[in-house]
Structure 1
Amino acid sequence: MRNSKQKLKLLYLIQIFDEYTDEEHGITMSEIIKKLDDNGIKAERKSIYDDIEQLGTVGYEIVTEKLNRETVYKTVTRKFDVSELKMLVDVVQASKFISKKDSEELIKKLEGFTSKYEAKKLQRQVYVANRVKAISKSGYYNIDAIHDAIYENKQIAFDYYMWNTKKELVIRNDGNKTDISPWALSWDDENYYMVAFDSAKQSIRHYRVDKMKDIKILNKERDGKKEFEKFDVAKYTKQTFGMFTGNIKNVQMEFDNSLVGVVVDRFGTDVMIIPKKDDKFTINVDVSVSSMFYSWVAGFEDKVKILGPQEVVDGMKNMIEKLSNQYKY
């Protein structure tokens, strides 16, 4: 058994350095020999020095340092540094799309990319917030199926669901979706959306991936190639508030100067900002005019004003009137 394990010595050495060393922590030669022995491998110092040299030739660099009159060894070869791993952990934890159980499993895997000492720092990141999380792993498989369909240039069929008042997912009135051609996946407001071409309605539409079930790849080539040749998914996402669709209009709006950051975050750095007097500025942007767009504007109270076109101004007035009537006694 020891002889067969002897062949795995280099792999065990990498495992030891990955788990027990980092920039702040090293391991002595005696500790290395002991850990190898615990795994059924007898090794002498000279052979380990040779192994460390061999690992360096393939890009796995190990450095030596003097610490309290002892020489310690540590790896400086990592696929990710700790700051990158912290960022990935935060993304996993913050995502509503990934269930709590799957978040914990993913974070555990990310911990494997650093030492046991740094892994503790990552684990503390898990408890940054009590977020609403997905309840199943189906989203993983949905994304995989959609990517396969896009790669294979095929249409898909699926059932589309919605929540009812009993907090149950029930199939929507229009039920089974067929002849849908997936073209892209988009992330917006912490949710995944599939952007696709609906052959029946001859239009570009989007669907929440976590509300799709029983996805089947059809033996039909995708439609909508012409519509998607110049389609900009990022622009589509910026135009569509809360992924609520509506008619695309070029809208002129006036903002208080304090909201420049909000405008850049929403519409990007390419938006043209036209300064005005009284600490105001205006912009002209294409937006998908929907109730969510009006709600977004209303959220800034008197710091934002729609200037045109008139039909969009009227739409804002109508929404305000409806809300006002709802609260009349």
Structure 2
Amino acid sequence: MTRLDNKDRLLQLRQILSEETDEEREKTLDDLILRFKQQYGPDVKLNKHSLKDDMEHLIQNGFDITVNQEKEGMPKYYSHQYRLFELYELRMLIDAVVSAKFISKKETRQLTGKIRRLTSVHQGKKLQNEIQIDSSIKSENPYIRLAIHKIHEAIEQRRVITFQYGRYDVDKKFQLSHEGRVYRVKPYALAWANDFYYLIAYYFEAGEIRHYRVDRLQNVMETDETFAYESFDVSSYTQSTFHMFAGDEEWIKIRCRNNLINVIIDKFGKDISTTRDGEDHFILTTKARISDGLVNWILGFGSKMMVLSPDTLQDTVKEEVENLHSLYDHDS
């Protein structure tokens, strides 16, 4: 007859309850004994009294076990129902992983599999129907997770980091910028915008704050050089950029059609300064980084947006409109 060590029995019981029971799946003592026999063989020595004692020990040590009994004299049903994450929370985590462009297809499969293991096997099957995206847009860089980890540690320890940066050329080949120059920066924060991770950092050579797509970084290295704490508002920085294009921050005024108010709130939040301008328009006043990203954002709304100030931004938009017109004016 197979004898089962008390510690092994306790651990196995916990695993069975964690993986095979939930709000919809419960087990009686007979069910539990059957699972042990399936695991350790039909001659394993086990009794209901031992299992009850084990469950009491688990409960006393903070492991949730729910006991249900419909009527006196009927069998008791046991299950582990309390989880750190609700099912809808796990679904949101999976959807975030699936939609994140910087996570490779292989890592997506690995991460979603791990997330499903945070609940029972039965509940985990309900998480199979994740959102569908074009898998061709997923990153092919398997080292992003290591770069993210190094950057997080450098931010926490306030250590200067170095890296190389690059982009794809028209032949879809990755090329390092500035002939492979090594960038030396003070990392302030990591931000997730437009489905990508961005490093926001102080670039020593230029003497200014810049941001970099993490999936375009190569050879990220921590140095022994540290820097003093500097207050930095990540939210304000990302809010003032458009499609994460860098530029100088200035006050802008834009006249918008009323039906764009939700677009403005989505971008800037409800506390943004807006004033009515007649029956059909309102004027947005905010600080923003003047960049190609801002110009493209404005042009994307066509005649529904009109730049009032500054003059330099208005002139840039006008010039781009004229360029578009000449591009499609086949009579000229």
Shorter chain as normaliser: what TM range? over 0.9
Matching residue's letter, 1:55: L
1:106 aligns with 2:111: yes
Matches within 5 A, 1:134-283: 134-173=139-178, 175-222=180-227, 228-229=230-231, 231-283=232-284
1:14 match: 14
TM, length-normalised to structure 1 = 0.92
Secondary structure of the residue that 1:302 maps to in structure 2?
helix
1:79 match: 84
- 62, 65, 72: which one aligns with 1:62: 65
- 40, 44, 49: which one aligns with 1:46: 49
1:303 aligns with 2:304: yes
Q: Tell me how many residue pairs correspond in the alignment.
A: 324
Deviation at 1:204, TM superposition (A): 0.5
CA distance in 2, matches of 1:138, 1:2: 47
Deviations 1:2-30 (A, max 9, x none): 55644222211111011111111111211
Q: 1:136 to 1:43 in 2, by over 3 A?
A: farther
Deviates more, 1:21-30 or 1:88-97: 21-30
CA distance in 1, matches of 2:187, 2:214: 11
Matching residue's letter, 2:15: Q
Matching residue's letter, 2:14: I
Deviates more, 1:93-102 or 1:164-173: 164-173
Contact 2:276 2:283 in 1 (8 A): yes
CA distance in 1, matches of 2:325, 2:272: 33
CA distance in 1, matches of 2:209, 2:35: 59
Contact 1:157 1:216 in 2 (8 A): yes
CA distance in 1, matches of 2:189, 2:47: 56
| CA-based RMSD | 2.0
Deviations 1:217-263 (A, max 9, x none): 1222238x5xx43x311111111111111221100111112111111
Deviation at 1:128, TM superposition (A): 2.5
1:129 match: 133
Contact 1:158 1:214 in 2 (8 A): yes
Contact 2:246 2:289 in 1 (8 A): yes
Contact 2:255 2:307 in 1 (8 A): yes
Deviates more, 1:127-136 or 1:312-321: 127-136
Contact 1:182 1:222 in 2 (8 A): no
Percentage of identical aligned residues: 31
Secondary structure of the residue that 1:187 maps to in structure 2?
strand
Deviation at 1:70, TM superposition (A): 4.3
CA distance in 1, matches of 2:39, 2:18: 16
Matching residue's letter, 2:110: E
Deviation at 1:326, TM superposition (A): 2.2
TM, length-normalised to structure 2 = 0.92
Deviation at 1:176, TM superposition (A): 2.0
Secondary structure of the residue that 2:119 maps to in structure 1?
coil
CA distance in 2, matches of 1:177, 1:5: 58
Secondary structure of the residue that 1:22 maps to in structure 2?
coil
CA distance in 2, matches of 1:322, 1:221: 48
1:93 match: 98
Query: Which segments of 5 or more consecutive residues in structure 2 lack a partner in the other structure?
Result: none
Q: 1:7 to 1:58 in 2, by over 3 A?
A: closer
Deviation at 1:313, TM superposition (A): 1.0
